Structure 1
Amino acid sequence: MNTADLGLPVDVPSTALFTDQYELTMLQAALKAGTAERRSVFEVFTRRLPEGRRYGVLAGTGRVLDAVENFRFDADVLRFLGERDIVDAPTLDWLASYRFSGDIWGYPEGEVYFPGSPIMRVEGSFAECVLLETVILSILNHDSAIAAAASRMSSAAGGRPLIEMGARRTHELAAVAASRAAYLGGFASTSDLAAGFRYNIPTVGTSAHAFTLLHDRERDAFQAQVNSLGRGTTLLVDTYDVAEAVRMAVEVAGPELGAVRIDSGDLLLVAHRVRQQLDELGARNTRIIVTSDLDEYAIASLAAAPVDAYGVGTQLVTGSGHPTCSMVYKLVARAESADVTAPLVPVAKKSSGGKTSIGGRKWAARRLDADGIAEAEVVGTGAVPADLVDRQLLVELVKSGDVVAREPLDVVRDRHTAARDGLPLSATQLSRGEPVIPTEYVHGRSGS
């Protein structure tokens, strides 16, 4: 697997250093204590959704699978660890042959989740599982935050296309991951060519204000763009006077002008004025695209405006105020010894302060009402109730170290749309509220 698929530079040979140092020091101590090979179960979940959010969106699973495959300690990485005295020689020897050989289960990418949902379960020896904690959380927390914002914006847009244009507002590699997550969440295209190249996302883009300012006259800029890109292009009309620019745009391109873009001002008022002007000039099929620091609330406020598409940047790539999902990766069960037949023992953090967790390997299912709409997220240990067997959410992603569940991004995108449509209607409300369905826990014998 090419590391470019992760949104990494092509000269990065490994994901092994996308981790925190304490993962390696825990490994060293466990190797010395003889506990490193104990069979273990780690789960990824969040204790709460960001304030006001009704549901979460799982994104980044495909990138996690790539990261696990590329988690290798090559000579340069081992040299770095040794020169810094981060771990001792026996640990370096163990890392040299590291290959994840365990199993990973998880919610299918694009699925929605709720507090307590075991969205990913990693099983294997403690040693091989603990090393993956940081890279898994880094990917899922970032991508799921972007996808959740994108999903809310997509709902607010009511079927109008959304363009992701946030590359200049974030780290260059994060921008590629953000484009992928936005597309999963319902966006139609991206301005980021790296994302288009790596993930086959449709790309769009025409010109900025600098192109207009380059020319002696606005008309000259419009003419140059039409000569180069054709009459179906999008002309930016708010560099100077909007009404004058719209008039010139139609004169230059004719009624076949593809679209005009508005990037400033009172978008609701300006959009209505521009639509009326375009219609009067005979450009009834010319679309109106609006940009300018949009979020889901601004998009919703434009629902009655004659807007055909939205371009979103800063608010999208920052998760619209919630740049992380607060997901954690916790050990929930471990064997009593390194013997492969040793039974699993549920374990959990029990300290106060709101950071407790529930021990035991878990299953999850979504209970539906008589109309087929979700009414509860059911999470449990032990046997799955008969009425929920066919509603289980976790699927096998990695088996004995081999990835078994790669999917095209369009499949993931369609899954999210279906999952969101299966929630109560209040899930898409932008007003603050609790998760749209409750999480119910069913406790049973964990088994081995």
Structure 2
Amino acid sequence: MNTADLGLPVDVPSTALFTDQYELTMLQAALKAGTAERRSVFEVFTRRLPEGRRYGVVAGTGRVLDAVENFRFDNGVLRFLRQRSIVDDETLDWLAAYRFSGDIWGYPEGEVYFPGSPIMRVEGSFAECVLLETVILSILNHDSAIAAAASRMSSAAGPRPLIEMGARRTHELAAVAASRAAYVGGFTSTSDLAAGFRYGIPTVGTSAHAFTLLHDTERDAFRAQVDSLGGGTTLLVDTYDVTEAVRTAVDVAGPELGAVRIDSGDLLLVAHRVRQQLDALGATDTRIIVTSDLDEYAIASLAAAPVDAYGVGTQLVTGSGHPTCSMVYKLVARAESAEPKAPLVPVAKRSTGGKTSIGGRKWAARRLDADGVAEAEVVGTGAVPAELADRQLLVELVKDGAVVGREPLDAVRDRHTAARANLPLSATQLSRGEPVLATEYVQDR
């Protein structure tokens, strides 16, 4: 869901300067050389997953579509480029009329991916496609990293809900994107109101330690919060002594108290003690929420604890140690000439050093075993084998410059849940290992 779905206004500035200068200088040189209009195919892929990860998660596709739609060189942007002498007047004139008119295909958002997967394919003239490299990569690399961390945390949490609360640990705009990506990966709510406004993600939040410290006593703080928010609120019980705080919380709110939050200490031990105390006080339905620098490993270690929900911040918005996916945007095919019907020829970097790529416009499919579980990621050029025809992964996102692949965020979230469930069971293991699916390449035939 986005603000358009909610009927809310939103300022949508140009995304044209979310780019690197070399994209504009390449454009200028290609215009002068007469090669700018050659039909071209660019693909987004990664050569490897972050160390130890079993699968990746495609996230940010919806934001990419918004960015492409708003990639416009308005007067302010053109004035900046002219003042800095970044490109010449001929290029500025070309940019003034820029509108992406090509096609974009990609893995549907929420789908999983593996090394070599053609996550996104951008087709059009070289000039219009090359400008989109940085904005596409910056979105996909960030959002997919967060979504992958969120997916691992969601898997570790099982049916227990996860709250995204990392806005204070990253850039204010990155926080909104991180909240969206976390929702794709399985989180159920966010503390960030901008994410709730822009994407319709459920928002939650009650109080911090500062609210308790403001008042003369902890009882006064709890009373003020309950009077304002009702007995179903969540009271933070680790500002002073946890045992005394739980006793006071139930005394103030009654056994109908909604939840208590624990933000420090040995969470496994404290959660057990708090659960026993709550039950003894008659607050058997009061939930326990834990926070405090959680990651997927800490969440997994609390699987046997009487915990009802987790709040995750820093580790989530930093990708749990892997803040990027190392995706690249490479030219894989281009026309022999600028003629509209000129045939495409595969191109690829062939240098040594581990950065080679495979040329050609690619398709991708996921082969299943006899039980319907994914067993391989198959990538190829040319004709798709008949047995994989109904297992193809790429879907149309943009056609002739018009967005055709926008979808509700809840549909994306549900897709990821289904995609992860279709992987071998070892995909959810937190121990380090190789990608759960091998990537097989099929030669053109």
Class of the TM-score when normalised by the shorter of the 2 chains: over 0.9
Note the C-alpha offset of 1:12: 5.7
Q: Is the 8 A contact 1:6 1:66 kept in 2?
A: no
Q: Is the 8 A contact 1:5 1:66 kept in 2?
A: no
Q: Distance in 2 between matches of 1:10 and 1:19?
A: 22
Deviates more, 1:1-10 or 1:239-248: 1-10
Q: Distance in 1 between matches of 2:431 and 2:127?
A: 44
Note the C-alpha offset of 1:121: 0.1
Q: Distance in 2 between matches of 1:184 and 1:275?
A: 31
Note the C-alpha offset of 1:6: 15
Note the C-alpha offset of 1:159: 1.0
Q: Is the 8 A contact 1:150 1:316 kept in 2?
A: yes
Q: Distance in 1 between matches of 2:195 and 2:216?
A: 35
Secondary structure of 1:292's match? Answer: coil
Q: Is the 8 A contact 1:58 1:147 kept in 2?
A: yes
Note the C-alpha offset of 1:308: 0.1
Deviations 1:314-363 (A, max 9, x none): 00000000000000000000000000110000000000111000000000
Q: Distance in 2 between matches of 1:415 and 1:209?
A: 38
Secondary structure of 1:419's match? Answer: helix
Q: Distance in 2 between matches of 1:69 and 1:243?
A: 55
Q: Is the 8 A contact 2:2 2:200 kept in 1?
A: no
Note the C-alpha offset of 1:7: 16
Deviations 1:385-407 (A, max 9, x none): 00000000000000000001110
Q: Is the 8 A contact 1:3 1:70 kept in 2?
A: no
Q: Is the 8 A contact 2:53 2:434 kept in 1?
A: yes
Q: Distance in 2 between matches of 1:223 and 1:352?
A: 67
Q: Distance in 2 between matches of 1:374 and 1:288?
A: 37
Provide runs of 4+ in structure 1 moved above 2 Å: 1-13
Note the C-alpha offset of 1:53: 0.2
Deviations 1:38-95 (A, max 9, x none): 0000000000000000000000000000000000000010010011000000000000
Secondary structure of 2:11's match? Answer: coil
Q: Distance in 2 between matches of 1:334 and 1:252?
A: 71
Q: Distance in 1 between matches of 2:365 and 2:310?
A: 36
- Go from structure 1 to structure 2 and tell me whether the alpha carbon gap of 1:2 and 1:87 turns closer, same or farther (over 3 Å shift): farther
Secondary structure of 1:110's match? Answer: coil
Deviations 1:78-122 (A, max 9, x none): 010011000000000000000000000000000000000001000
Q: Distance in 2 between matches of 1:24 and 1:106?
A: 25
Kindly report which structure 2 residues correspond to 1:197-212, keeping only aligned pairs within 5 A, or say none.
197-212=197-212
Q: Distance in 2 between matches of 1:94 and 1:262?
A: 58
Q: Distance in 1 between matches of 2:27 and 2:273?
A: 65
Note the C-alpha offset of 1:30: 0.2
Secondary structure of 2:366's match? Answer: strand
Secondary structure of 1:363's match? Answer: strand
Q: Is the 8 A contact 1:146 1:318 kept in 2?
A: yes
Q: Distance in 2 between matches of 1:63 and 1:145?
A: 15
How many residues align? The count is: 445
Secondary structure of 1:332's match? Answer: strand
Kindly report which structure 2 residues correspond to 1:353-432, keeping only aligned pairs within 5 A, or say none.
353-432=353-432
Deviations 1:366-413 (A, max 9, x none): 000011100000000010000000000000000000001110000000
Q: Distance in 1 between matches of 2:129 and 2:5?
A: 23
Secondary structure of 2:105's match? Answer: strand
Secondary structure of 1:221's match? Answer: helix
Q: Distance in 2 between matches of 1:6 and 1:380?
A: 40
Q: Is the 8 A contact 1:3 1:12 kept in 2?
A: no
Identity percentage of aligned residues: 91
Secondary structure of 1:210's match? Answer: helix
Q: Distance in 2 between matches of 1:3 and 1:116?
A: 34
Q: Distance in 2 between matches of 1:10 and 1:402?
A: 20
Q: Is the 8 A contact 1:6 1:63 kept in 2?
A: no
Note the C-alpha offset of 1:21: 0.2
- Go from structure 1 to structure 2 and tell me whether the alpha carbon gap of 1:352 and 1:3 turns closer, same or farther (over 3 Å shift): farther
Note the C-alpha offset of 1:4: 9.7
TM superposition score normalised by structure 1? 0.97
Q: Distance in 2 between matches of 1:2 and 1:418?
A: 22
Q: Is the 8 A contact 1:294 1:312 kept in 2?
A: yes
Deviations 1:186-238 (A, max 9, x none): 00000000000010000000000000000000000000000000000000000
- Go from structure 1 to structure 2 and tell me whether the alpha carbon gap of 1:52 and 1:24 turns closer, same or farther (over 3 Å shift): same
Q: Is the 8 A contact 2:3 2:200 kept in 1?
A: no
Q: Distance in 2 between matches of 1:56 and 1:5?
A: 28
Q: Distance in 1 between matches of 2:109 and 2:399?
A: 17
Note the C-alpha offset of 1:313: 0.1
Q: Is the 8 A contact 2:12 2:70 kept in 1?
A: no
- Go from structure 1 to structure 2 and tell me whether the alpha carbon gap of 1:9 and 1:127 turns closer, same or farther (over 3 Å shift): farther
Secondary structure of 2:292's match? Answer: coil
Secondary structure of 1:417's match? Answer: helix
Q: Distance in 1 between matches of 2:13 and 2:365?
A: 38
Q: Distance in 2 between matches of 1:387 and 1:238?
A: 59
TM superposition score normalised by structure 2? 0.98
Secondary structure of 2:135's match? Answer: helix
Q: Distance in 1 between matches of 2:333 and 2:40?
A: 6
- Go from structure 1 to structure 2 and tell me whether the alpha carbon gap of 1:98 and 1:3 turns closer, same or farther (over 3 Å shift): farther
Note the C-alpha offset of 1:3: 9.8
Note the C-alpha offset of 1:147: 0.2
Deviations 1:114-152 (A, max 9, x none): 000001000000000000000000000000000000000
Note the C-alpha offset of 1:13: 2.3
Secondary structure of 1:257's match? Answer: coil
Q: Is the 8 A contact 1:8 1:173 kept in 2?
A: no
Secondary structure of 1:127's match? Answer: helix
Note the C-alpha offset of 1:10: 5.6
Q: Is the 8 A contact 1:161 1:309 kept in 2?
A: yes
Q: Is the 8 A contact 2:190 2:203 kept in 1?
A: yes
Q: Distance in 1 between matches of 2:158 and 2:125?
A: 47
Q: Is the 8 A contact 2:364 2:394 kept in 1?
A: yes
Are 1:69 and 2:64 counterparts? no
